[in-house]
Structure 1
Amino acid sequence: MFLNYFALAMLIIGISLVVYTFIYIHDIPYQIAKKRNHEQVEAIHLACWLSLFTLHAIWPIVFIWAVMKPKPLSVKIEGDEKSLIEQRLRTLEAEVAHVRAALTPHQKEIA
C-alpha cells in the first residue's frame, strides 16, 4: 500500500519537473533578449509562448532572433534629397495643421 502512494508521489513530482523544464527551456530566448537589451524583447517573449503552444516548432527561429542584434538603419541623404524631404515635411505639417483646425469645432460640439 505504501509503495502505491510512493509511486503516485514520484509520478506527480516527475510530471511536474518535466512540465517545469519544458517551460523553462522555452523561456531561454526571452532571458537572452532581456540580458542583451534587445529592442524587441516583448515580441520575443510572446513568440516563446507561441512556440510552447506549437510544440516548439518555431523555437529555433525565436532563439536566433533573440541572439541577433538588429542593426540600425543608416540612410545616406544628399543635399538635394534633404531639401526635398524638408519641403515635403513642411507640406505635411501644414496639412496636419489644416485638418486639426477643421476638426476643432466638431470636437467642441461633441464634448
Structure 2
Amino acid sequence: MLDYFALGLLIFVFITLFYGVIVIHDIPYEIAKKRNHPQQDAIHVAGWVSLFTLHVLWPFLWIWATLYREDRGWGFTDGAQGGSGIEAQLKQAQEQISSLNERLQDIEQQAQQGGQG
C-alpha cells in the first residue's frame, strides 16, 4: 500500500514541478499583459523559447516586460518636456535648426560686410 502512495506522491510532485516551471515562465507575459505592452505576444513566445534554452532568456524577458508602462511608455523621456517624447524632441530640433539658421545668416552678413570694406 505504501508503494502506491509513494508512487502517487512522486507523480504529484513531478506534475506540480512541471506545472510550476511553466507558470513561472509566464510571469513576464502576465506583466506585459497587465501593462498593455505593445510586444506582449513576442514576450509570450520568447518565454516558451526560454524553456528550451535552459531559461537563459527569462531574466531578459522580465526586464523587457517591466520597462514599458502604459502611462509613460518606455520612460526614456523627461516628463517636463511636455507632450509625447517624439513630439517634444521634434519641436526642440526645429528650434535648434531655426537658431542655427539665424546664426548662419548673421555670420554671412558679417563676412559680406568685411569683404566690402
Verify same fold: TM over 0.5: yes
Q: Which position in structure 1 is the counterpart of 2:4?
A: 5
**TM-score, length-normalised on structure 2?**
0.61
Instruction: Give unmatched runs, 5+ long, in structure 1.
Output: 82-111
Over the matched positions of the two proteins, sequence identity in percent amounts to 49
- 1:1-111 matches, within 5 Å, as 2-69=1-68, 70=74, 74=86, 75-76=89-90, 78=94
Instruction: Give unmatched runs, 5+ long, in structure 2.
Output: 69-73, 76-83, 98-117
Superposition deviation, residue 73 in structure 1? 5.8
| RMSD (Å) for aligned C-alpha atoms | 1.9
Question: Which structure 1 residue ranges, 4+ long, deviate > 2 Å from structure 2?
Answer: 70-73
**TM-score, length-normalised on structure 1?**
0.64
2:23 and 2:85 map into 1 onto residues whose CA distance is: 34
